[in-house]
């Protein structure tokens, strides 16, 4: 008798293979654009018909500026920037899919961006079959919990922050995550989903996600097909999450991810984006959570190359 074992292998794709309709929220989301302007005091620049944006900030008063276009195929030029008050400075460019780099750009050896990301394309309610075996086992265990005792609730920002503050977790950036979450809420409340897993009345784990990038669809007019943008986001990105020790035995973290996938599918969302995965620029403390995210990721992608030039 021959026994065949099937192992799912997460694909590592090239940036040219990254889906064109699944973009980087930090350069396409209007909510994140507003967050940069209102909370980081950064001047954002419209690109490609406002479907993407870059940013610019002063580094030496009015005498020099820093420009950054990240995961955008339009390269910065002095002519383009002049109308936004650019005088002189340094431009950094991380292309999205493009490989034909114009003359004058040099590779930057110092890391200025997160190079590693991962996502899953969800098509039906059997999305969990794309997860690895460990995640599928954890999902099964979570679903076996008493639903009267263990519940995941979609909550408002007040309940989320209150639960966030109460959890007994030692984390260097906990207060920063709370501030970031509150700033994103103030920039686009309707685009943020906040989940808390409760054991009885006690919050033990939580997850906040941001839905972004509207779908583009073709429709037939009287004379021709035209492209329209729907109001339904096609991507959802992981923002912040915490899990207490009490959550581990019941696999609450996986339960939250499962709820995120399921609700996203019901909303018509196609891509689940796990945002940044640990690379050489991130602290070792991020490795555990990166390992957790990898359980659910179908495609991993690196945007290693960044370029600079003086303008």
- Residues 74/48, Cβ–Cβ less than 8 Å: yes
> Starting from the edge strand earliest in sequence, which strands make up the sheet with 43-47, in order?
43-47, 52-58, 65-70, 89-94, 307-310, 106-107
Every domain of the chain with CATH number 3.40.630.30 lies at 123-269
Token digits for 237?
């990105």
DSSP 145: S
Q: First vs last Cα of the chain: how many Å apart?
A: 69
pLDDT tens over the chain, length 311 residues: 333 333 456 899 999 999 989 999 999 999 999 999 999 999 999 999 889 999 999 988 778 999 999 999 999 999 999 999 999 999 999 999 999 999 999 999 888 889 999 999 999 999 999 999 999 999 999 999 999 999 999 999 999 999 888 776 665 566 788 999 999 999 999 999 999 999 999 999 999 999 998 766 554 445 555 544 556 899 999 999 988 888 999 999 999 999 999 999 999 999 999 999 988 777 777 788 899 999 999 999 999 999 999 99
pLDDT value, residue 33: 97
pLDDT value, residue 172: 56
Q: Give φ, ψ of 72 to 5 degrees.
A: -130, 135
pLDDT value, residue 229: 53
Q: Which CATH superfamily is 123-269 part of?
A: Gcn5-related N-acetyltransferase (GNAT) (3.40.630.30)
Rounded to whole angstroms, the Cα distance separating 176 from 204 reads 19
Rounded to whole angstroms, the Cα distance separating 264 from 271 reads 9
Global confidence as pTM: 0.90
pLDDT value, residue 6: 39
Strand 202-220 to strand 65-70: parallel, antiparallel, or no bridges (unpaired)?
unpaired
pLDDT value, residue 223: 56
């Amino acid at each position: 008798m021959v026994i065949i074992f099937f192992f799912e292998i997460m694909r590592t794709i090239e940036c040219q293979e990254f889906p064109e309709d699944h973009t980087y929220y930090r350069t396409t989301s209007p909510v994140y654009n507003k967050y940069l302007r209102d909370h980081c005091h950064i001047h954002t620049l419209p690109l490609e018909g406002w479907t993407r944006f870059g940013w610019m900030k002063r580094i030496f008063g009015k005498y020099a500026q820093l420009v950054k276009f990240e995961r955008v195929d339009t390269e910065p030029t002095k002519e383009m920037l002049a109308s936004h008050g650019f005088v002189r400075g340094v431009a950094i460019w991380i292309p999205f899919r493009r490989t034909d780099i114009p003359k004058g750009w040099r590779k930057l050896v110092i890391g200025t961006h997160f190079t590693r990301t991962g996502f899953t394309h969800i098509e039906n309610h059997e999305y969990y079959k794309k997860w690895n075996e460990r995640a599928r086992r954890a999902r099964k265990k979570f679903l076996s919990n008493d639903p009267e005792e263990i519940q995941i609730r979609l909550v408002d920002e007040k309940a989320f922050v209150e639960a966030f503050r109460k959890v007994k977790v030692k984390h260097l950036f906990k207060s920063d995550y709370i501030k970031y979450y509150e700033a994103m809420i103030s920039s686009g409340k309707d685009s943020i989903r906040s989940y808390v897993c409760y054991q009885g009345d006690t919050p033990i784990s939580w997850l906040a996600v941001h839905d972004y990038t509207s779908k583009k669809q073709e429709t037939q007019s009287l004379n021709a097909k035209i492209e329209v943008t729907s109001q339904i986001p096609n991507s959802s990105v992981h923002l912040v999450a915490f899990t207490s020790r009490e959550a581990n035995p019941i696999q609450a973290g996986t339960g939250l991810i499962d709820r995120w996938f399921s609700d996203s599918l019901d909303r018509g969302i196609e891509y689940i984006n796990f945002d940044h995965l640990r690379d050489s620029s991130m602290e070792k403390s991020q490795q555990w959570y990166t390992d957790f995210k990898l359980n659910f990721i179908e495609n991993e992608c690196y945007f290693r190359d960044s370029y600079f030039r003086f303008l």
